[in-house]
């Protein structure tokens, strides 16, 4: 993952990693996270395979600093694609919980999978409708141990994108400061 540094305003690097399963993982260096829904959807349609895009952003309270704001709105996402699914994005299942400027929103589309815990989806408190534990369980049901470093490797490929021959990037410590991330503390969602 160190090869993805520094974080960038637009993805300038992608790391494709063989996993200890039949899945291949891809990560990018977008400064504020972001997701890979469109590229994964297109790849699934093009080569005729299933795909999964996982989003997991910590919710770090925004706070005013001398030179601007730091912090980030959080979100969790599970997007399962199938080349046989209808629609332009080929969603078989899409679940998304996100902080939209201070208000939590929940989206669920497609057919629930047999491994889902659907009871929380109707919780009165929107933030309780999808959790990191549910996301971890859903990935595990597909044979993906997304949050375990030993799941990834050993083979990988780094792709670097440039703009006019120059990478678009920011120093890692600056990005961490702007997002309000204290690397000495454990992040909690």
The per-residue pLDDT for range 127-176, each reduced to its tens digit, is: 999 999 999 999 999 999 999 999 998 888 887 876 665 555 555 566 56
| pTM as predicted | 0.79
**What tokens does 131 get?**
């959790």
Neighbouring residues of 118: CB distance < 8 A, sequence distance ≥ 6: 112
pLDDT of residue 171: 57
d(C-alpha 63, C-alpha 72), whole Å: 9
Give the residues of the chain that fall short of pLDDT 70. Answer: 32-35, 162-189
pLDDT of residue 148: 93
Distances (CA, A) of 136 to 8, 30, 75, 131, 181: 27, 22, 14, 9, 22
Backbone phi, then psi, for 120, in 5-degree steps? -65, -15
Quote the strand ranges of 42-185, DSSP E: 51-57, 60-65, 68-72, 75-81, 91-100, 103-110, 152-160
Neighbouring residues of 144: CB distance < 8 A, sequence distance ≥ 6: 19, 21, 23, 52, 54, 151
């Amino acid at each position: 993952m160190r090869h993805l540094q520094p974080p960038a305003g637009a993805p300038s690097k992608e790391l494709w990693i063989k996993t200890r399963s039949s899945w291949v993982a891809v990560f990018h260096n977008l400064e504020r996270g972001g997701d890979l829904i469109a590229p994964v959807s297109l790849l699934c349609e093009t080569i005729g395979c299933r795909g999964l895009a996982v989003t997991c952003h910590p919710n770090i309270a925004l706070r005013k600093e001398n030179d601007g704001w730091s912090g980030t709105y959080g979100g969790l996402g599970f997007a399962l694609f199938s080349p046989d699914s209808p629609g332009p994005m080929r969603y078989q299942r899409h679940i998304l919980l996100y902080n939209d400027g201070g208000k939590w929103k929940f989206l669920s589309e497609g057919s629930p999978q047999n491994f889902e815990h659907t009871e929380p989806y109707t919780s009165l408190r929107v933030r309780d409708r999808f959790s990191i534990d549910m996301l971890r369980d859903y990935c595990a049901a597909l044979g993906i141990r997304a949050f375990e470093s030993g799941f990834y490797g050993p083979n990988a490929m780094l792709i670097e994108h440039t703009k006019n021959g120059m990478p678009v990037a920011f120093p890692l410590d600056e990005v961490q400061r702007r997002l309000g991330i204290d690397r000495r503390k454990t992040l909690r969602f």
